[in-house]
Chain A
Amino acid sequence: GAVVSQHPSRVICKSGTSVKIECRSLDFQATTMFWYRQFPKQSLMLMATSNEGSKATYEQGVEKDKFLINHASLTLSTLTVTSAHPEDSSFYICSASRPAEGTYEQYFGPGTRLTVT
């Protein structure tokens, strides 16, 4: 159990366009989902925390108008990169949280490789 999927796995888009990435918890309901980005050879950086039915909480330095997050249901969160620029090219990973071993475990999706040309 505890499978998280992301779609698409890879996407290439032109500068100025918008891209939507989906994150789904396949076999459990997640009240909280998280969005991370990861640059090569670096650790994951939290972008925002998303709670079902409410506005996302963005980390300092992350533009909420550029990275739109919607958490419409307990199994689906979406990240839309608006007006993408080449510097937005990165590996985007979502995670979904559920109770495990006395705490909350985050189960990560397989990631989405975004390339902006």
Chain B
Amino acid sequence: KNQVEQSPQSLIILEGKNCTLQCNYTVSPFSNLRWYKQDTGRGPVSLTIMTFSENTKSNGRYTATLDADTKQSSLHITASQLSDSASYICVVSEDDYKLSFGAGTTVTVRA
């Protein structure tokens, strides 16, 4: 069964600090890996999409990395802001349509 495991389940950080979220997957075949941000009570919003050949991709203060050999990805948030408080979901795609979702990491940024 294709799985996407995220860690930690939740974390609390102080405003201005950095944090890194982890994602391990067993999805095969692999098409691409996506990170989404989901605010409470809202739908997910795409942060990054990475294909097999990409090792890193940035979107503002968000930087995602991918090691397709070890099937690991990370999402680094730099200089966190209160608005970064959300659930971050790692999603691995087998093809253009079939997505496997992680359970998400809930990030709480405190002033």
Contact = CB atoms under 8 A, between A and B. Distances in A.
B101 A105 contact: no
Interface residues of B, number: 21
Interface in A44-79: 44-46, 49
Tell which of A41, A100, A103, A104 has the most Cβ of chain B within 10 Å.
A103
Interface string B72-111: 0000000000000000010001001101011110100000
B31 A103 contact: yes
B52 to A, nearest CB: 11
B43 A93 contact: yes
B14 interface: no
A49 B46 CA distance: 19
B65 interface: no
Contacts, number: 50
Majority secondary structure of chain A interface residues (helix, strand, loop or mixed): strand
A106 B31 contact: no
Contacts of A106: 99
**Chain B CB within 10 A, most for which of A42, A43, A110:** A43
A46 B101 CA distance: 9
Nearest to A112: B43
Given A42-B103, A49-B97, A106-B99, A101 B49 contact: yes
Nearest to A95: B43
Nearest to A45: B101
Interface string B33-53: 000100001111110010100
A105 B30 CA distance: 15
Contacts of A107: 46
